[in-house]
Structure 1
Amino acid sequence: MFLFFVAICLGAGFLYVYNEVRFNAYNIIDYKPKLTTQIYDSNNELIANVFEENRLYVPFDEIPVRVVEALVAIEDTAYFEHSGVNYEAIIRAIIKDIKAGKLVEGASTLTQQLVKNLALSSEKKIERKIKEIVLSIKLETELSKEEIIERYLNHVYFGHGYYGIKTASQGYFRKNLNELSLKEIAMLVGLPKAPSSYDPTKHLDLSLGRANRVLERMYMIGWINEDEYRKGILEEPVVFDDTLSKNKAPYVVDEIIKELSKQFDDIKTGGYVVYSTIDLQVQNIANEALIYGYNEILKRDKNANTAVLNGAMVVTHPQTGDVLALVGGVDYSKSSYNRATQSRRQPGSSFKPFIYQIALNSGYSVVSQVADISKSFDMGNGKEWTPKNYSGGFQGFITLKSALTQSRNLATVNLLNDLGLNYVRDELEKMGFESVPPNLSIALGSFGISLLDFATHYSMFANDGETVSVSLIRSVQNRNNNLIRYESVRRQVNKPEQSYLMVSLMQNVVENGTGRAAKVHGVQIAGKTGTTNNNIDAWFCGFTPEIQAIIWYGNDDNSPMKKVEGGGRTAAPVFKKFIQDYIKQHPNMRKDFIRPDGVYKAKFDGKDEYYTQDSPLPRQNIDQNLLQELDDGGLIF
């Protein structure tokens, strides 16, 4: 009767405790841990880990048998025999606790350890221990032994900021689990007992000692032979002390996380795999080029304020919209502000090609005359604006080609005025520009734009009149292996032949004009310099047949740089260095622009000039031998 009463009491107590803690069991049964999001470049090289808890998940069938054997040997030899609780071990522990007068030994099985880590606190109280036992028994009825092991090895802390054994394996040894030696396995499974004490990056001797005890235990119970044991004891693995994020491109990572956070609210905990468009090799080349240009500024200006002087660079494939490199500043450790995406700077004369493109599309030819003369314009409210050329003076009537090559401000403003401000603004909006101010000063790039947005607009020239929105992300894979693909937005905003005319003009800028410092032997380069008033901003926007780069330098507080700094002196040489280094890595890159159908060539004033049906050459001064041929094609007026 007494035993029956005791059984009733124990059963009632079990039910009471179970009702208190049963919901905690579902945290383990429906296990959804915080996982690390990993960002890769276009060559599948890891760019960075992003996380709240640095954990890479590994399913049980990818965990080597040796790992399971080593863990069970040192932590719970009877794991596959008990039902969650080892009663014999508990009795032994109780005897030791009674002798000590306090809780000194827990006798926890792996199941109990998992419960303690995931569902309960680690305080040493009888009440908590009872809850732990009840939950462990519950888990063993709901989960298989393999599922419990899987959860344990993925959840527990392995020191050094590593959660889960896969993370620890890659972190400490830069190896996947199936590449580990027996000694490395022993080091890992020995860590959860005291992760900080046994962290091999801090206490290698203690870590090796703990691993040797694991090997000794495996040898004693016959799970490894003597040869394996002796070799393992003598081995001293190479341990790496890597940063947790392994962030190789912080400006890129910040931007990707910002973009994905709009779509995924768990981007730092959801275990996503992000495949980016970035090429780390190109990223490094761009970063080095940007720093080179920065140092050159400092050589020219010993008094430059390094607290505000900075730069940025965006490299893209204009045909695909892929961002190959994004450098938001010269030193992320000093400033994480991303000048390539967050800053909106005036593009200055680097915007002029869009005005000249509109002129060409409106019937102007590359040799049409524009007025490079001084003129005052009524800006309203009784104010007048009298623009000036950067180099001073004026040349009278000059060709479009010469005006752009020399970057003549007066010619460009007069051209815009002749075309009509409202008409030009409408055409710019068709090209994709937004919120263009109703002001003639837009001819000189007097509005703000980010480098990343400018890269999209510039793709029109290199990509046969089609703008391709730039993108940092190709696809994202979630923890269920579902893949989401990202596509660039394509818009045909110009005819291929008209864009090619502008390419030819910008080639002349590099060959004979303000962009000469960007010239690279053996590669056709088109581009445009940009310098804003008082040398506040210095730009070079350039492209080859294969790759495009937008480069900017300036002071973060919009204060002027030294008078000698400008697009041609400051930014163009950076493009040259970048392309030279890029060619070393990509010697087979395409080097010549392809002239599309509908672009013709004829002599004008003794020189070869391109023309199209929409931009015919003027009749006067054309080589008389070609007049009949042009008339037959309807290409002159």
Structure 2
Amino acid sequence: MLKFLTKAIFFISIIVGAVIVVLLYDLYEEIKDDIDSVVNYEPKQSTQFFDKNGRLLANTFKDENREYVNYDDIPARVIEGLVAIEDTQFFEHFGINPDAISRAVIKNIQSGGYSEGASTLTQQLIKVLVLTREKKLMRKVKEALLAIRLETLLTKEEILERYLNHVYFGHGYYGIKTAAKGYFKKDLYELTLKEIAILVGLPRAPSFYDPTKNLQVSLTRANQVVTRMNSLGWISNEQFEESINEIPTIYNQTLTQNIAPWAVDYAVSELINDIPDILYGGYKVYLTIDLQTQEIAQEALKKSYDEAMKRDENIRANSKNPDNDAFTKELNGAMITLESGTGKILAMVGGIDYSQSVFNRAFQSKRQAGSAIKPFLYQTALNEGYNPASQLFDISRTYTFTVGGVQKKWQPKNYGGNFQGIVSFRDSLVQSRNLSTLNLVTDVGIDITTNDLQRYGFKDIVNNLSITLGSMSVSLVEFSQAYTIFSNNGVKVKPYIVEQISNKDGKSVTFEPIKTELNSHEQSYLITSILKDVVTKGTGRRAAVDGIELAGKTGTTNDNIDAWFCGYSPSIQTIVWYGNDNNKPMRRSETGSTLAAPAFSYFFKKYLELYPEIPRTFTKPENVYLGNFNGKDEYYTDLSPLPDIDSQIIIEQSNSNEEVLEF
């Protein structure tokens, strides 16, 4: 009978074993394809933005902040620490550890529940990438089957690389490279043994062991790692003692902090149509931005804004209706600085305070150009044969026109309401006189002028005299591009902010300047010589900086809605704008001269301190000559000769100094 029972049990065991094998095989066949996500590992990776000097500006990501690291770049101590605390026999087992499973089963039976697991690092990787974290038998069976399969497809090194890059280390950090930079502000190769021990101890319970929240608990866990390494003989007693007593400096920070948000936002807007995953595809984006220049641009914009706020407070303090009289609630500004010769944007500030408004006024907003458009009108006149010494009529004209059958009149005025009768071409632009500019454009021809404006890149140009007052709307980026025809000696350069992009495979694309020659260096220099006078003795005197030649033009639109200063040194160009976001007028005291020019001056003063080696004087081309007209020295070129003294028109002004024209 005993013999029969023994045989029966034997055969039943065979049958049960066969059934289990079949069931396991069927289960394996069902789930084997799930391992593809581990084999063909494509993790979400953070994109990093750097300035021109390689300084990190921002990490951007979707869901998971992760900077990937290859196995060969992971220090051996990191591997040793991880294996010591999580899976000592990792390099010997085939995906599962039978000894550890046996110990865990015994302890779980003794405790009457699930008190201890026996997962290898391979199983842990399967769990976080493929399966759930449920403590159920079927999940553990699947985990074991997939772990065994994975070890036949990947090397041990590949498994460790995936594990250390994928797991969560707490505090928003995914992957050990990200965690090292986040907690310690170090690269992996810079970590001490104790810092490594803290990191490799985190994946077991990242929130609980987070050193920024529970430092003592985290240090205790790290000491377990160090103790285990010492007991295995992987570190010496001296290393053990030193590490046990070490308390590393922990940083409670977020690596997502964007320290140049205006610039990064613009870069993303330029890239996202062609690279939809630019924010989370693991790219390294190198910008033309100089972080120090970016910071002083932000300071400059804020300083002039603060001064305007003080002026407003003083006025409202003496006002009977201060609430109705305030303009500062919507006041904002923007600034762009670039290399004139290349178009590389060195600084872009799209507002006074990014935390209050992320709207980037440097490229998302279009505002009227006002008097800042005038240098382009005068450049056209020079190209048509005018000279800086040419005489212009600064007299009032009344223009009549018909709209819908109704006759209307337009009587433009100079700022301040005065007129001079006759004024030189140079003085007209230096003093930003409206009447002489209107007469100049009328004489040159509206068609010629508007065609040139379109050639310079301006859009939506109306074919009437309102162009002389800067009625067209432009963004700071567009205006910056147009102004390079002056700052870059007649050659228009497209502003750009992305220097190079590298993908996660290391392939890179580099961007180069895009240039278009529109005017000769000689003709452009004539305008620069006039715009230098604007800064030294004209409407832009508040833009001046000792020790460097600057050229530029103020601009204030009707009713003081927009205030501009557009200027440049021999190598750097800066455009500044202020205005109310709701497009309502500022105070009469807030103009391009009082508001924008001081910001320009502050910027160049600080920039010169930062880079004292930059060129400080403009270079006169050989074919620009110096002559004398009416007792004054003046530049001229073959295309813009000095006026003929004998052909000056002497005008006997009428009492009204006014002329009526129709158009």
Q: TM-score, normalising length from structure 1?
A: 0.96
Residue in 2 that maps onto 1:533: 558
Query: Offset at 1:379?
Result: 4.4
Residue in 1 that maps onto 2:427: 402
Q: How many residues align?
A: 623
Query: Offset at 1:38?
Result: 0.6
Task: Report the CA distance shift for 1:284/1:621 in structure 2 as closer, same or farther (over 3 A).
Answer: farther
Q: Deviations over 1:232-273 (max 9, x none)?
A: 000001111122213111111111112111111111221100
Query: Offset at 1:408?
Result: 0.5
Query: Offset at 1:3?
Result: 4.4
Query: Aligned partners of 2:397 and 2:110: how far apart in 1?
Result: 102
Task: Report the CA distance shift for 1:473/1:141 in structure 2 as closer, same or farther (over 3 A).
Answer: same
1:570 to 570, 588, 595: 595
Residue in 2 that maps onto 1:631: none
Residue in 2 that maps onto 1:37: 47
Residue in 2 that maps onto 1:135: 146
Residue in 2 that maps onto 1:78: 89
Conserved? CA contact 1:551–1:575, under 8 Å: yes
Conserved? CA contact 1:510–1:526, under 8 Å: yes
Conserved? CA contact 1:604–1:621, under 8 Å: no
Query: Offset at 1:307?
Result: 3.4
Alignment of structure 1 residues 250-289 onto 2, 5 Å: 250-289=261-300
1:418 to 432, 443, 449: 443
Secondary structure of 2:519's partner?
A: coil
Residue in 2 that maps onto 1:23: 33
Query: Aligned partners of 1:460 and 1:50: how far apart in 2?
Result: 36
Query: Aligned partners of 1:387 and 1:123: how far apart in 2?
Result: 79
Query: Offset at 1:521?
Result: 1.8
Query: Offset at 1:23?
Result: 2.1
Query: Aligned partners of 1:309 and 1:260: how far apart in 2?
Result: 30
Conserved? CA contact 1:474–1:485, under 8 Å: yes
Task: Report the CA distance shift for 1:379/1:165 in structure 2 as closer, same or farther (over 3 A).
Answer: farther
Conserved? CA contact 1:346–1:537, under 8 Å: yes
Q: Deviations over 1:467-503 (max 9, x none)?
A: 0000011110001111111122210011111100000
Query: Aligned partners of 1:480 and 1:34: how far apart in 2?
Result: 14
2:339 to 302, 305, 317: 317
Alignment of structure 1 residues 12-161 onto 2, 5 Å: 12-52=22-62, 53-161=64-172
Secondary structure of 1:377's partner?
A: strand
Query: Aligned partners of 2:138 and 2:464: how far apart in 1?
Result: 77
Residue in 1 that maps onto 2:234: 223
Task: Report the CA distance shift for 1:92/1:305 in structure 2 as closer, same or farther (over 3 A).
Answer: farther
Q: Which amino acid aligns with 2:465?
A: L
Query: Aligned partners of 2:196 and 2:138: how far apart in 1?
Result: 35
Query: Aligned partners of 1:425 and 1:31: how far apart in 2?
Result: 58
Residue in 1 that maps onto 2:319: none
Task: Report the CA distance shift for 1:11/1:377 in structure 2 as closer, same or farther (over 3 A).
Answer: farther
Q: Deviations over 1:304-325 (max 9, x none)?
A: 4443111111011111101000
Query: Aligned partners of 2:488 and 2:61: how far apart in 1?
Result: 38
Residue in 2 that maps onto 1:635: none
Query: Offset at 1:412?
Result: 1.2
Secondary structure of 1:275's partner?
A: strand
Residue in 2 that maps onto 1:247: 258
Residue in 1 that maps onto 2:483: 458
Query: Aligned partners of 2:501 and 2:386: how far apart in 1?
Result: 46
Secondary structure of 1:15's partner?
A: helix
Query: Aligned partners of 2:286 and 2:179: how far apart in 1?
Result: 23
Query: Offset at 1:621?
Result: 6.6
Query: Aligned partners of 1:154 and 1:7: how far apart in 2?
Result: 39
Conserved? CA contact 1:160–1:199, under 8 Å: yes
Query: Offset at 1:461?
Result: 0.4
2:301 to 275, 290, 311: 290
Query: Aligned partners of 1:5 and 1:252: how far apart in 2?
Result: 70
Conserved? CA contact 2:38–2:129, under 8 Å: yes
Greater Cα offset, 345-354 or 365-374: 365-374
Query: Aligned partners of 1:28 and 1:168: how far apart in 2?
Result: 22
Secondary structure of 2:337's partner?
A: strand
Alignment of structure 1 residues 550-589 onto 2, 5 Å: 550-589=575-614
Greater Cα offset, 3-12 or 567-576: 3-12
Q: Deviations over 1:399-443 (max 9, x none)?
A: 111110110111112211222222211111222222212231111
Residue in 1 that maps onto 2:173: 162
Greater Cα offset, 442-451 or 182-191: 442-451
Residue in 2 that maps onto 1:447: 472
Conserved? CA contact 1:605–1:621, under 8 Å: no
Query: Are 2:508 and 1:483 equivalent residues in the alignment?
Result: yes
Query: Aligned partners of 2:136 and 2:292: how far apart in 1?
Result: 56
Query: Offset at 1:616?
Result: 0.6
Query: Aligned partners of 1:171 and 1:404: how far apart in 2?
Result: 55
Secondary structure of 1:376's partner?
A: strand
Query: Aligned partners of 2:149 and 2:90: how far apart in 1?
Result: 15
Residue in 1 that maps onto 2:374: 352
Q: Percent identity?
A: 51
Query: Aligned partners of 1:86 and 1:305: how far apart in 2?
Result: 73
Secondary structure of 1:315's partner?
A: strand
Query: Offset at 1:98?
Result: 3.1
Q: Which amino acid aligns with 1:562?
A: R
Q: Deviations over 1:176-203 (max 9, x none)?
A: 1111100000000000011111111111
Conserved? CA contact 1:425–1:436, under 8 Å: yes
Larger radius of gyration: 2
Task: Report the CA distance shift for 1:621/1:168 in structure 2 as closer, same or farther (over 3 A).
Answer: farther
Query: Offset at 1:13?
Result: 1.8
Q: Which amino acid aligns with 1:579?
A: F
Q: Deviations over 1:144-167 (max 9, x none)?
A: 000000000000000111100001
Secondary structure of 1:464's partner?
A: coil
Q: Deviations over 1:568-599 (max 9, x none)?
A: 11111111111111111111110000111321
Secondary structure of 2:57's partner?
A: strand
What value does the CA root-mean-square deviation take over the aligned residues?
A: 1.5
Residue in 2 that maps onto 1:633: none
Task: Report the CA distance shift for 1:341/1:379 in structure 2 as closer, same or farther (over 3 A).
Answer: farther
Task: Report the CA distance shift for 1:396/1:218 in structure 2 as closer, same or farther (over 3 A).
Answer: same
Query: Aligned partners of 1:380 and 1:316: how far apart in 2?
Result: 44
Alignment gaps of 5+ in structure 1: 623-637
Task: Report the CA distance shift for 1:48/1:621 in structure 2 as closer, same or farther (over 3 A).
Answer: farther
Residue in 1 that maps onto 2:16: 6
1:437 to 434, 445, 462: 462
Q: Which amino acid aligns with 1:281?
A: Q
Residue in 1 that maps onto 2:658: none
Residue in 2 that maps onto 1:627: none
2:391 to 369, 372, 393: 369
Task: Report the CA distance shift for 1:379/1:71 in structure 2 as closer, same or farther (over 3 A).
Answer: farther
Query: Aligned partners of 1:275 and 1:621: how far apart in 2?
Result: 60
Conserved? CA contact 1:536–1:561, under 8 Å: yes
Query: Aligned partners of 2:423 and 2:43: how far apart in 1?
Result: 69
Q: TM-score, normalising length from structure 2?
A: 0.92
Query: Offset at 1:99?
Result: 3.6
1:598 to 619, 623, 644: 623
Residue in 1 that maps onto 2:356: 334
Query: Aligned partners of 2:14 and 2:624: how far apart in 1?
Result: 102
Query: Aligned partners of 1:431 and 1:306: how far apart in 2?
Result: 34
Query: Aligned partners of 1:100 and 1:305: how far apart in 2?
Result: 73
Q: Deviations over 1:451-472 (max 9, x none)?
A: 1111111011011100000001
